[in-house]
Amino acid sequence: MKNIQFSATSAVSHQDLLSLMPQVRAAQQTLVQGSGEGNDYIGWLTLPDDIQCQIQDIQATAALLRERCEIIVCIGIGGSYLGAKAVNEALLPFFGAYHQQQPAIIYAGQNISEDYLYELQQLLTHHSFGIICISKSGTTTEPALAFRLLKSQLEQQIGESAARERIVCITDAQRGALRTLATQQGYKTFVIEDNVGGRFSVLSPVGLLPIACAGLDIQALVDGAREMKNLCYNQNVEEHPAAQYAAARTILYRSGKTVELLANFHPKMHYISEWWKQLFGESEGKGHHGIFPASVDFTTDLHSMGQYIQDGERILMETVLSIEQPNHSVIFPHDEQNLDGLNFLSGKRVDEVNKMAELGTMLAHVDGGVPNMKITLPQLNEFYLGELIYMMEYACGLSGYMLGINPFNQPGVEAYKRNMFALLNKPGYEAESAAIQARLKK
Amino acid sequence: MKNIQFSATSAVSHQDLLSLMPQVRAAQQTLVQGSGEGNDYIGWLTLPDDIQCQIQDIQATAALLRERCEIIVCIGIGGSYLGAKAVNEALLPFFGAYHQQQPAIIYAGQNISEDYLYELQQLLTHHSFGIICISKSGTTTEPALAFRLLKSQLEQQIGESAARERIVCITDAQRGALRTLATQQGYKTFVIEDNVGGRFSVLSPVGLLPIACAGLDIQALVDGAREMKNLCYNQNVEEHPAAQYAAARTILYRSGKTVELLANFHPKMHYISEWWKQLFGESEGKGHHGIFPASVDFTTDLHSMGQYIQDGERILMETVLSIEQPNHSVIFPHDEQNLDGLNFLSGKRVDEVNKMAELGTMLAHVDGGVPNMKITLPQLNEFYLGELIYMMEYACGLSGYMLGINPFNQPGVEAYKRNMFALLNKPGYEAESAAIQARLKK
């Protein structure tokens, strides 16, 4: 069977890669032996095995929600949002909303936009809907705010008792506001384990339930992740793609490339890149270090960011996510007149043009001084996304330890929250409120 | 009347700003007198006045398409796509597709994805649709390919003669494949002037027709742009926001900030940032110089990129696009139990929370070493987007001339195309084909 492949032949030399391998091996030992900083957050390492016993329950819960709801609203932010969003966007058809595909999966609690919440509430008024609320504590502002609004709307629309059958909470096993509420109300729940951080949680119920609700095959997703786990655990670091990727980007970062562009040539991959940005940015952006993660969707962004990539500041490295086989076939038609001059493409599949754009772009960017790496998925499906997710998570762990930081915390995320609470006079923030008001008066 | 405001008090000192003003004035003279490189592409400067005589024709054409079509497909890429997409996404309701709002505006020719085109063709099979094809030459691969496919589908669905009434071309006045075809077929057309480059074309028919097709008020958009043009032309550089913004970012770039983050706190602004990325990236990314443009949608991305921004490599400056007043109102409800601890927000508008997140974030990022600028729109509507568009274009011209480059060309965009044509054996690329095949064999 084919697996995801990694290649960096035009970015780093084989010799440089080999030279770094002792460091990669050391990082891997730190990671899998749990001897490094953040070792209380490495439950994701064995998640592909550990989660198996919950798959059936998740599938059954999803089936009930799908039966009962025209719209399923998934409430969550950051790691409680991006994994499911990424997989669902990658695998669901474009234009599903125009086809009135049901149930529709819509996200909330990922922003504090008044217009967004207003327009969402208007939409829900006309539909039977359910809610999946994902929050470890139940008090993160964005999801808690959305949940209070939408839960109250649901109860008004169908009554508290019927609402109970359409609300599922994914939260801490015992503590926190959402656990307390779920116990009181008798909501169906799943557990966010203490040793799995948000951005590493897509293969837990956090990601799997919304993905199953979209009608996708979570067993295949987990199977793919397990396959990649076996590669990571059993192959030499020289051979498995996670270590190769971690090594190559580390070498490039140390050579002065401070920005990594994750590029795709398939628009459905857009949110995979967003998920990746959280994974790496939040893991590595510490102590004034770390690669700045950015993403581009090609070929469209070749007509916006292409000029900069080709010839701007030489601070970029680029990683291309390539999909070997598209899922559908469109043959480019012949045209007698050929005014557009495209008859040289007649009879070719559209993807063949796309692939030559991809290859042509990689060659051009290398010529322009942007080292290119490539990660190849044989196809865009649950199995290979499972492989990709695990590969990226594992690479992130290695990469972080080589950078010398704790890849599993995110202390900097609290800064804006503290200010926000102070500005909103949240109880318990009285001293901060006074300080920030004094600062603003200056 | 209120206008867009710019502020950079926490990013650059007043003294530094004043010191740069002679350079800003010189850049402005070069720009408005047309004495600099790229002066054959500054038609956009007077577009808010020049376009007025075409508004009625554009509105009438849009009205016909809206009457005849359930779906209007806008074909274009880069500057022939992003401006309209940005304004439409900013001003249309969320969830329009779920409401079956008609006509739906869907985009094509902005990628070469076989799955995208397949699924689009499937959707169009079930609907009456029309096409706006936007291409100066008519031979740019992505839009030409999509147009050949969809035109042929439309003709098959309703016949060549009825299709003629639903196809509009925006192209060169006289030359090129699309002009020739439009003349032959008698399609309604609008002109892309020679002196307006793609990324500066949103206030021409390129942007205005798709925006009018979405039912938006293009007169107000143009009025806003004209208002900003008057500010730029009549105020001192110390006073108008375009010059202030250009000056501040130039100072920060020279101090080592190589990445500019455009941040919003309103999800509808996402594609405004994409448009901005093309505008600045393609204008400035030259000769191994230029600020790398990136964007973040807050607060969602505070839970992904927030950690990096707060504490990663100190190469970032940040510009916040702030919307003073939301268009709808949602009051946060009281909850007797208050398990989520959010009763301190009861009775507040959701936007008030969002605004404190915005302010709290700016303070936190400044504390973390990320200089913050702020552009304030009084409201999210056509008029202020018109102001914003013109302001950004003008700032881009100033910024580019201060950088010492020609802001109006994009030589680097051709590199991938040449390789792609060589790889696809396009007639006329025989030598390049041989060379690239030899290179790949190595």
Give the count of alpha carbons within 13 A of B387, CB side only. Answer: 23
Size of interface A-B (CB pairs under 8 A): 461
A442: contact with B, CB 8 A cutoff: no
Which residues 373-412 on chain A approach chain B with CB closer than 8 angstroms?
A: 380, 410-412
Domain B43-220, what fold?
Answer: Rossmann fold (3.40.50)
Strands (E), A173-284: 188-191, 259-264
Q: Nearest CA to CA, how far is B244 from chain A (Å)? A: 22
pLDDT of residue A101: 83
- Residues B288/A313, Cβ–Cβ less than 8 Å: yes
Q: What is the mean pLDDT of residues B257-261?
A: 97
Do A356 and B424 lie within an 8 Å CB cutoff?
A: yes
- Residues A39/A409, Cβ–Cβ less than 8 Å: no
pLDDT of residue A10: 82
Nearest to B330 among A117, A258, A380 (CB): A117
pLDDT of residue B100: 85
Q: Whole-angstrom Cα distance, residue B385 to residue B377?
A: 8
| A386 CB-near residues (< 8 Å, 6+ apart) | A48, A203, A220, A221, A222, A223, A224, A225, A226, A227, A228
pLDDT of residue B18: 93
A336: contact with B, CB 8 A cutoff: no
Q: What is the mean pLDDT of residues B25-48?
A: 97
Query: What chain A residue is nearest to B83 in terms of C-alpha separation?
Result: A304
**In CATH, what class is B5-38+221-403?**
alpha beta
Q: Which has the closest alpha carbon to B380: B398, B414, B413, B354? A: B354
* Tokens (6 digits) for A33: 């032996």
Q: Which residues in chain B touch residue A82, judged by CB atoms under 8 angstroms apart?
A: 304
Q: Which residues in chain A touch residue B415, judged by CB atoms under 8 angstroms apart?
A: 310, 364, 367-368
- Residues B426/A344, Cβ–Cβ less than 8 Å: yes
Q: Whole-angstrom Cα distance, residue A317 to residue A257?
A: 6
* Placement of tokens 């075409």 in the chain: B54
Q: Nearest CA to CA, how far is A56 from chain B (Å)? A: 30
Amino acid at A400: G
* Tokens (6 digits) for B192: 């892309």
* Tokens (6 digits) for A105: 């999966």
Pairing of β A292-297 and β A259-264: parallel
pLDDT (tens digit per residue) in B368-377: 999 999 999 9
Which residues 140-159 on chain B approach chain A with CB closer than 8 angstroms?
A: 141-142, 144-145, 147-149, 152
SS3 B128: coil
Q: Which has the closest alpha carbon to A206: A87, A42, A92, A65? A: A87
Q: Which has the closest alpha carbon to B105: A122, A98, A296? A: A98
Domain ranges of chain A: 5-38+221-403, 43-220
Judged against a pLDDT cut of 90, whether residue A9 lies above it is answered with no
Q: Which residues in chain B touch residue A266, judged by CB atoms under 8 angstroms apart?
A: 113, 115
Do A277 and B304 lie within an 8 Å CB cutoff?
A: yes
A353: contact with B, CB 8 A cutoff: yes
Complex confidence, ipTM: 0.97
Instruction: Decide whether B5-38+221-403 matches B43-220 in CATH topology.
Output: yes
Q: What is the mean pLDDT of residues A425-441?
A: 95
Do A308 and B293 lie within an 8 Å CB cutoff?
A: yes
pLDDT of residue A347: 96
Q: Whole-angstrom Cα distance, residue A45 to residue A32?
A: 8
Q: What is the mean pLDDT of residues B185-201?
A: 97
Partners of A318 in the β-ladder: A261, A372
Q: Nearest CA to CA, how far is A234 from chain B (Å)? A: 31
| B237 CB-near residues (< 8 Å, 6+ apart) | B21, B24, B25, B28, B243, B247
Q: What is the band of B1 on the pLDDT scale with cuts at 50, 70, 90? A: confident
pLDDT of residue A120: 98
pLDDT of residue B51: 98
Q: Which has the closest alpha carbon to A92: A305, A385, A433, A368? A: A385
Judged against a pLDDT cut of 80, whether residue A373 lies above it is answered with yes
| DSSP letters for A56-111 | HHHHHHHHHHHHH-SEEEEE--GGGTHHHHHHHHHHSPTTTTTTT-SSEEEEESS-
Among A181, A307, A381, A424, pick the best mutation site for testing chain B contact (most B Cβ within 10 A): A307
| DSSP letters for B306-362 | HHHHHHS-S-EEEEEEEEEE-SS--BPPP-SS-TTS-GGGTTSBHHHHHHHHHHHHH
Do A281 and B274 lie within an 8 Å CB cutoff?
A: no
Q: Whole-angstrom Cα distance, residue B195 to residue A146?
A: 48
Amino acid at A111: N
- Residues A302/B101, Cβ–Cβ less than 8 Å: no
| B230 CB-near residues (< 8 Å, 6+ apart) | none
Q: Which has the closest alpha carbon to B42: B430, B427, B408, B422? A: B408
SS3 A382: helix
Q: What is the mean pLDDT of residues A92-120?
A: 95
pTM (2 d.p.): 0.98
pLDDT (tens digit per residue) in B323-348: 999 999 999 999 999 999 999 999 99
From the number of C-beta atoms within 10 Å of its C-beta (0-12, 13-18, 19+), residue B324 rates as middle
* B257 catalytically annotated: no
Among B304, B315, B410, pick the best mutation site for testing chain A contact (most A Cβ within 10 A): B304
pLDDT (tens digit per residue) in A263-288: 999 999 999 999 999 999 999 999 99
Catalytic residues of A: 282, 303, 417
- Residues B389/B381, Cβ–Cβ less than 8 Å: no
Do B145 and A311 lie within an 8 Å CB cutoff?
A: no
* Tokens (6 digits) for A372: 């290119």
Pairing of β B372-379 and β B5-7: antiparallel
Do A314 and B288 lie within an 8 Å CB cutoff?
A: yes
Judged against a pLDDT cut of 80, whether residue A415 lies above it is answered with yes
Do A299 and B423 lie within an 8 Å CB cutoff?
A: no
SS3 A169: strand
Which of B126, B288, B303, B441 does the annotation list as catalytic? B303
Q: Which has the closest alpha carbon to B233: B41, B394, B40, B36? A: B394
pLDDT of residue A20: 96
Among A105, A291, A292, A317, pick the best mutation site for testing chain B contact (most B Cβ within 10 A): A292
Q: Which residues in chain B touch residue A93, judged by CB atoms under 8 angstroms apart?
A: 119
* Tokens (6 digits) for B320: 């916040």
Question: What mean pLDDT is reported for chain B?
Answer: 96
Q: What is the mean pLDDT of residues A28-35?
A: 97
- Residues B372/B320, Cβ–Cβ less than 8 Å: yes
B347: contact with A, CB 8 A cutoff: no
* Placement of tokens 């503590």 in the chain: A175
C-alpha dist (Å) from residue B105 to B62, B70, B283: 12, 9, 28
* CA B217, B223, B226, B230 torsion-angle sign: negative
pLDDT of residue A100: 85
pLDDT (tens digit per residue) in B350-359: 999 999 999 9
Do B285 and A268 lie within an 8 Å CB cutoff?
A: no
Nearest to A357 among B112, B293, B342 (CB): B112
pLDDT of residue B442: 80
A326: contact with B, CB 8 A cutoff: yes
Do A344 and B424 lie within an 8 Å CB cutoff?
A: yes
Pairing of β A188-191 and β B292-297: unpaired
pLDDT of residue B407: 97
Question: What mean pLDDT is reported for chain A?
Answer: 96
Q: Which has the closest alpha carbon to B77: B168, B154, B170? A: B170
- Rg, Å, chain A Cα set: 23
First to last CA, chain A: 65
B362-384 as b/e: b if 16+ CB within 10 A:
bbbbeebebbbbbbbbbebbbbb
Q: Which residues in chain A touch residue B344, judged by CB atoms under 8 angstroms apart?
A: 424-427
Q: What is the mean pLDDT of residues B143-166?
A: 97
pLDDT of residue A49: 98
| B440 CB-near residues (< 8 Å, 6+ apart) | none
* CA B122, B417, A7, B438 torsion-angle sign: positive
- Rg, Å, chain B Cα set: 23
Q: Which residues in chain B touch residue A181, judged by CB atoms under 8 angstroms apart?
A: 337, 339-340
Q: Whole-angstrom Cα distance, residue A146 to residue B214?
A: 29
Q: Whole-angstrom Cα distance, residue B429 to residue B423?
A: 9
SS3 A220: helix
Do B415 and A364 lie within an 8 Å CB cutoff?
A: yes
Q: Nearest CA to CA, how far is A73 from chain B (Å)? A: 13
Do B310 and A412 lie within an 8 Å CB cutoff?
A: yes
Which of B89, B142, B274, B282 does the annotation list as catalytic? B282
Length of chain B as a residue count: 442
Nearest to B111 among A79, A199, A299 (CB): A299
| DSSP letters for B208-258 | HHHHHHTT--HHHHHHHHHHHHHHHHHS-TTTSHHHHHHHHHHHHHHTT--
- Residues A268/B296, Cβ–Cβ less than 8 Å: no
Which residues 284-313 on chain A approach chain B with CB closer than 8 angstroms?
A: 284-294, 297-300, 302-313
Nearest to A285 among B71, B307, B348 (CB): B307
Q: Nearest CA to CA, how far is B71 from chain A (Å)? A: 10
Judged against a pLDDT cut of 80, whether residue A1 lies above it is answered with no
Do B307 and A412 lie within an 8 Å CB cutoff?
A: yes
From the number of C-beta atoms within 10 Å of its C-beta (0-12, 13-18, 19+), residue B161 rates as exposed
Strands (E), A153-305: 167-171, 188-191, 259-264, 292-297
Do A106 and B115 lie within an 8 Å CB cutoff?
A: no
Nearest to A313 among B274, B290, B422 (CB): B290
Among A155, A308, A413, A424, pick the best mutation site for testing chain B contact (most B Cβ within 10 A): A308
Helix axes B270-284, B82-91, angle to 10 degrees: 150
Among B73, B112, B332, B334, pick the best mutation site for testing chain A contact (most A Cβ within 10 A): B112
Do A333 and B277 lie within an 8 Å CB cutoff?
A: no
SS3 A266: coil
Strand ordering across the sheet containing A259-264: A5-7, A372-379, A316-325, A259-264, A292-297
Helix, strand and coil percent figures for chain B, each rounded to 5: 55, 15, 30
Q: Whole-angstrom Cα distance, residue A161 to residue A264?
A: 46
Query: What chain A residue is nearest to B339 in terms of C-alpha separation?
Result: A177
Judged against a pLDDT cut of 80, whether residue A310 lies above it is answered with yes
Q: Whole-angstrom Cα distance, residue B280 to residue A305?
A: 9
SS3 A377: strand
Which of B239, B334, B417, B430 does the annotation list as catalytic? B417
pLDDT of residue B10: 82
